[in-house]
Amino acid sequence: MKRSKDNTSNHDKVAVVTGSSRGIGKAIAIEFARNGYCVVLNSRDEKDLSRAAQDIAKEIGDDQRVSFVPGDVSHENICTS
């Protein structure tokens, strides 16, 4: 992802990243957050997910642009909550 010089243009955009509690998913979420997006993290493990959200918020210095929804996205009720 090319990092923009002016991240404010992305502040009204939201990226939902599944599998984002660790590994590649977490790295993708970090890049979106660094580029000004609000990021919604998702994973089945709530403990790991909460830790990842805290890590990303600390990394970008803004906990208002990072949130998470634990659960399996193959279940409709998780996606509509």
This prediction has a pTM of: 0.84
pLDDT digits (tens, 9 = 90+) for 14-67: 999 999 999 999 999 999 999 999 999 999 999 999 999 999 999 999 999 999
Ordered domains of the chain (ranges, CATH): 13-79 (3.40.50.720)
C-beta neighbour count of 56 within 10 angstroms: 24
The pair phi, psi for residue 38, each rounded to 5°, is -80, 140
Q: d(Cα 69, Cα 20) in Å, to the nearest integer?
A: 10
**Three-state DSSP state, 50:** helix
Judged on CB neighbours under 10 Å (0-12, 13-18, 19+), 27 is exposed
Q: d(Cα 59, Cα 68) in Å, to the nearest integer?
A: 16
